[in-house]
Amino acid sequence: MTASPLPVQPAQHPPGGLPGLDPAWSRLVEVPRGGRRGRHDAEVRSGSDTWHVLDNASQVDAPVRGTLLCVHGNPTWSYLWRDLLRAGAAAGWRVVAVDQLGMGFSQRTGRVHRLADRIAELGALTDVLDLTGPVLTVGHDWGGPISLGWAVDHPEQLAGVVVTNTAVYQDLDGRTPAPLRLAMTPGVLGTSTVATPAFLETTLALARPPLSREVRDAFRAPYPSADRRQAIGDFVADIPVDAEHPSRPALEALATGISALRVPALLLWGPGDPVFGEQFLADLMHRLPHADVHRYEGASHLLPEDVDVAGAVVTWLSDRFPGTAGAVVGAGAADEAASAAPELGTAVADAPFVPLWRALEERAGDDGVALVEMAPPGASGPRAVPWSLLARRVDELGRGLLGSGVRPGDRVALLVPPGADLTAVLYACLRIGAVVVVADAGLGLHGLSRAVRGARPQVVIGVPRALAAARALGWSARRIAAGPLPTGARAALGIDCTLVELADRGRAAARAGVSDAPPEPSADDDAAILFTSGSTGPAKGVAYTHAQLAAMARAVGSTYGIGPGSSLVAAFAPFALLGPALGATCASPDMDVTAPRTLTATALADAVAAVDAAVVFASPAALTSVVADAGRLDDADRRALSGVRLFLSAGAPVPPELLAAVGRIMPAAEPHTPYGMTEVLPVTDISLAEITAAGDGDGVCVGRPVAGAQVAISALDVDGAATGPAGREPGVTGEILVSAPHVMDRYDRLWLTHHAARRDAGWHRTGDVGHLDREGRLWVEGRLAHVITTPDGVLTPVGLERRAEGVDGVTRAAAVGVGPVGVQTVVLVVETTPAVRRPGLADLDLTARVRAALDVPVAAVLVVDALPTDVRHNSKIERTRLSRWAERVLAGGRTGRP
């Protein structure tokens, strides 16, 4: 490429009236040419270029903490950072956002600017700008490599890096993203990028939600004609897609350079980006392993337009750079500050670490029964797996996985239904230090797919149906098949091998003299990624270390007296997986565990009889189904069930009526229910007798903290925000805080979410609301997001719902707030028996009876045929969705269905 024939056009100020842009920020800066690494000849070096930059320097209150140097990509301009200029000024940070030469309102130079030029030119600009204090770079799109190039070149000034939807490395084997491939096709390139605004318009159309007309026009403002757009085309042509490209060496040097950066790094990502896909995020995470990462589910390429990037950056700055400006520069400062925070669960941190696989290894010679599957896939009757076989299988699979290239720290997604296969491969992964990614079908296919894609496993182990989905959804992971494989499926599904082959390989490896057991992971290594049920938004990944998983098993074992020699029936998958760790014999009943309602009373009785189970675990939905079906139990079934000493209902709050009904089926059993969530389980436990003793109250009584766990409350303010410090004063309603050795390590790739949940030292914020009573019992009153803020104070839903459910004819109720925060009015949405055919206002009689049952004003009572609930438990009511629906109906809108 030679210098473009287009004439030079001077830099200029943007037009007035662009939304969110303060004209006081605009500066034109003349910079002498001749950067350190520029390739230009002497003639070019002799002149100067004029930049347009946005600079909030005059609006930052002293002392200025440092400077954010923001670099836009192609084809945007510094306008992209307007919110950050404003938010930065308020937080004491100078923000300088540049328009790259030839872009935005900077000079049209008549030259082509390659990657190396642009990095050098940015350095020349900052030499003139006199940046204040330590500098953090902020880059988007192709502004990413350029800003990071500046970062690598200025170690003495650099304090940190922030990047959003960018790439520093183009894999030569990898596919160029389709939109770019098209744009780069000879003949198309000039047309789409320069002669017409097609490339610009395509980029602007990526915003989620769509940009307003005014903002769209602001992005178009510097690029009205072909002569203003030359650099857009030059930028695309500068993407170094092959080894011979002139910018390839600069990119490779940069990719190597940033791997040496040790400063704090923040990676913000919109996973919906069709250009910078998640492989680029993975590459950046590989190069900056210490980086804080936040993926915004649902956001796309123009991330600063899609979500509040400015707020995220300011939050991160205040966390990573809490001190004064002088203390910021250099690596390590932030790390020391972070490690000074108290550890969670210090009270019981002295308990010895017993890894989950230890019990299995200890029983490798035991021919007693470890697992019983009542209806294993592909078999006609129950199958019992002895401890010795399970231990051997785990060992073989572990060796097989290692032999096939799985490394400690690799993520392995397990899309295998609960059963012996899942148990074996799970323990094998844990044993070799692979991180298991466990997404259950209870998230729904869409939720599951989104969850697994977000966790970016290197390997997917699944049944053929799951692997077909994985292939269809384009997960870029190796695929290993569990269970029998239909002929021809191997190639069609792109399957590497099967679990049977893995085990064979492992056995062969063991025989071949590689007899030393593989090294064990350490207690603080990642062990598992689990997922929340997503009842308050997209499912969140939750990362546990081996120590935390071990603590979870210990908490379950000690709370329920389960250990070696115990036998249990698990109709609730998570507990089935803990059985081997506790040394307990575990039976899975004949049911579709992904649909708890498929458990019948007789199937439960059969499983209990098979292992002479003393303990039964089930979800509330499964228990409801068992109770409904109890009439079909015969005498033998009832005899088996009468041997159960404890049954546990877990997964969602359980009405005492249901516990009592199950108690009639298992008369010798003490009904218990734990309270907890994916992030920490169990938190508390309560028996039916204790529930009865607690009586009625505001919410559901969930008992006292289990051994090792502590609970505190952060009081709500009038807007329903949990702003109070951790406290234990009885009767105060607020967000429930938990401290325990078995609290998860972190939310996975959700730095902001994690930061918000851990903002109180030593505590995890659960997002649930409740209160402690004088006896130290915890009462759960609902979700923080579902709190109702009325002018007369904050109300929580569960207590209201329990009272409404006491009204004749009401089977289930949801209490929601309608209206703006602080002015909300209470609306009850109820399911009735018999169910209504069409949603709408409850009749006057039912309305009057519900109003009479509640001690707060109720604006309206609506009836629906079925309340919307989460897929996983079919019990967590989606109150946010109901609230939107109720507001629409009660504003005179169309009724429809919630």
Distance in angstroms (rounded) separating the CA atoms of residues 646 and 307: 48
Query: Pairing relation of β-strands 292-295 and 265-269?
Result: parallel
Specify whether the CB–CB gap between 799 and 698 falls below 8 A. yes
Distance in angstroms (rounded) separating the CA atoms of residues 288 and 290: 5
Stretch that binds another protein, among 109-117, 772-780, 869-877, 887-895 (CB under 8 A): 887-895
Each residue 732-771 as x (binds another protein by CB under 8 A) or -, in order, gives ----------------------------------------
Distance in angstroms (rounded) separating the CA atoms of residues 205 and 228: 20
Residues 6+ apart with CB under 8 A from 157: 131, 134, 135, 329
Interface pick for another protein out of 67, 157, 619, 824 (rule CB under 8 A): 824
Distance in angstroms (rounded) separating the CA atoms of residues 612 and 603: 14
Distance in angstroms (rounded) separating the CA atoms of residues 672 and 650: 9
CB of 897 to another protein, least distance (A): 14
Of 636 and 821, the one with the shorter C-beta distance to another protein is: 821
CB of 886 to another protein, least distance (A): 10
- Answer yes or no whether residue 557 interacts with another protein by CB under 8 A: no
- Answer yes or no whether residue 891 interacts with another protein by CB under 8 A: yes
Nearest to 90 by CA among 69, 60, 68, 134: 60
# binding residues, another protein (CB under 8 A)? 21
CB of 841 to another protein, least distance (A): 6
597 class by beta-carbon count within 10 Å (0-12 exposed, 13-18 middle, 19+ buried): middle
Specify whether the CB–CB gap between 316 and 338 falls below 8 A. no
Nearest to 427 by CA among 441, 440, 439, 438: 438
Of 64 and 841, the one with the shorter C-beta distance to another protein is: 841
CB of 646 to another protein, least distance (A): 48
Stretch that binds another protein, among 182-190, 288-296, 773-781, 836-844 (CB under 8 A): 836-844
Of 340 and 844, the one with the shorter C-beta distance to another protein is: 844
Site for another protein, residues 780 to 819, rule: CB under 8 A: 791, 818-819
- Answer yes or no whether residue 820 interacts with another protein by CB under 8 A: yes
CB of 890 to another protein, least distance (A): 4
Of 714 and 825, the one with the shorter C-beta distance to another protein is: 825
Of 405 and 840, the one with the shorter C-beta distance to another protein is: 840
CB of 829 to another protein, least distance (A): 13
Query: Pairing relation of β-strands 680-687 and 670-677?
Result: antiparallel
509 class by beta-carbon count within 10 Å (0-12 exposed, 13-18 middle, 19+ buried): middle
CB of 823 to another protein, least distance (A): 4
CB of 852 to another protein, least distance (A): 10
Q: Apex CA 847: angle with CA 844 and CA 849, to 5°?
A: 110
Paired residues of 435 in beta bridges:
411
Of 322 and 893, the one with the shorter C-beta distance to another protein is: 893
Stretch that binds another protein, among 234-242, 596-604, 681-689, 822-830 (CB under 8 A): 822-830
Distance in angstroms (rounded) separating the CA atoms of residues 249 and 886: 59
Specify whether the CB–CB gap between 373 and 390 falls below 8 A. no
Of 172 and 823, the one with the shorter C-beta distance to another protein is: 823
Of 631 and 820, the one with the shorter C-beta distance to another protein is: 820
Of 476 and 895, the one with the shorter C-beta distance to another protein is: 895
- Answer yes or no whether residue 629 interacts with another protein by CB under 8 A: no
Interface pick for another protein out of 90, 338, 349, 823 (rule CB under 8 A): 823
Our separate counts of H helices and E strands in the chain read 32, 36
Site for another protein, residues 18 to 77, rule: CB under 8 A: none
CB of 858 to another protein, least distance (A): 9
CB of 895 to another protein, least distance (A): 7
Query: Pairing relation of β-strands 93-98 and 48-55?
Result: antiparallel
Of 126 and 790, the one with the shorter C-beta distance to another protein is: 790
Interface pick for another protein out of 107, 157, 170, 825 (rule CB under 8 A): 825
CB of 825 to another protein, least distance (A): 5
Of 488 and 820, the one with the shorter C-beta distance to another protein is: 820
**Tokens representing 34?**
């001749």
Q: Is 579 left (phi over 0), alpha (psi -120 to 50) or beta?
A: alpha
Specify whether the CB–CB gap between 812 and 797 falls below 8 A. no
Distance of alpha carbon 759 from the chain centroid: 17
CB of 834 to another protein, least distance (A): 20
**Tokens representing 317?**
């700055």
Of 390 and 828, the one with the shorter C-beta distance to another protein is: 828
Of 405 and 791, the one with the shorter C-beta distance to another protein is: 791
- Answer yes or no whether residue 892 interacts with another protein by CB under 8 A: yes
**Tokens representing 256?**
């190597």
Distance in angstroms (rounded) separating the CA atoms of residues 102 and 113: 8
Nearest to 107 by CA among 29, 46, 42: 29
Query: What's the 3-state SS for 739-759?
Result: ECCCCCCEECCEHHHHHHHCC
Could you give phi then psi for residue 148, rounded to 5 degrees? -70, -30
Site for another protein, residues 152 to 191, rule: CB under 8 A: none
Of 219 and 885, the one with the shorter C-beta distance to another protein is: 885
Each residue 838-867 as x (binds another protein by CB under 8 A) or -, in order, gives --xx--x--x---------x-xx-------
CB of 850 to another protein, least distance (A): 12
Distance in angstroms (rounded) separating the CA atoms of residues 138 and 144: 7
Stretch that binds another protein, among 135-143, 455-463, 486-494, 885-893 (CB under 8 A): 885-893
- Residue type for 137, please? T
CB of 372 to another protein, least distance (A): 54
Of 490 and 884, the one with the shorter C-beta distance to another protein is: 884
Interface pick for another protein out of 326, 776, 806, 822 (rule CB under 8 A): 822
Of 506 and 819, the one with the shorter C-beta distance to another protein is: 819
CB of 210 to another protein, least distance (A): 23
CB count within 10 Å of CB 812 equals: 19
User: What are the residue ranges of helices labelled H in 583-653?
Assistant: 601-611, 620-628, 635-641
Of 782 and 819, the one with the shorter C-beta distance to another protein is: 819
Residues 6+ apart with CB under 8 A from 243: 172
Stretch that binds another protein, among 275-283, 425-433, 737-745, 882-890 (CB under 8 A): 882-890
Residue spans of beta strands (DSSP E) within 640-709: 646-649, 670-677, 680-687, 700-705
Of 561 and 857, the one with the shorter C-beta distance to another protein is: 857
Nearest to 597 by CA among 576, 573, 581, 618: 618
Stretch that binds another protein, among 156-164, 475-483, 597-605, 820-828 (CB under 8 A): 820-828
CB of 433 to another protein, least distance (A): 54
- Answer yes or no whether residue 599 interacts with another protein by CB under 8 A: no
CB of 466 to another protein, least distance (A): 44
CB of 844 to another protein, least distance (A): 5
Distance in angstroms (rounded) separating the CA atoms of residues 430 and 744: 16
Interface pick for another protein out of 245, 345, 889, 898 (rule CB under 8 A): 889
Distance in angstroms (rounded) separating the CA atoms of residues 842 and 498: 56
Specify whether the CB–CB gap between 435 and 450 falls below 8 A. no
Site residues for another protein per CB under 8 A? 791, 818-820, 822-825, 840-841, 844, 847, 857, 859-860, 887, 889-892, 895
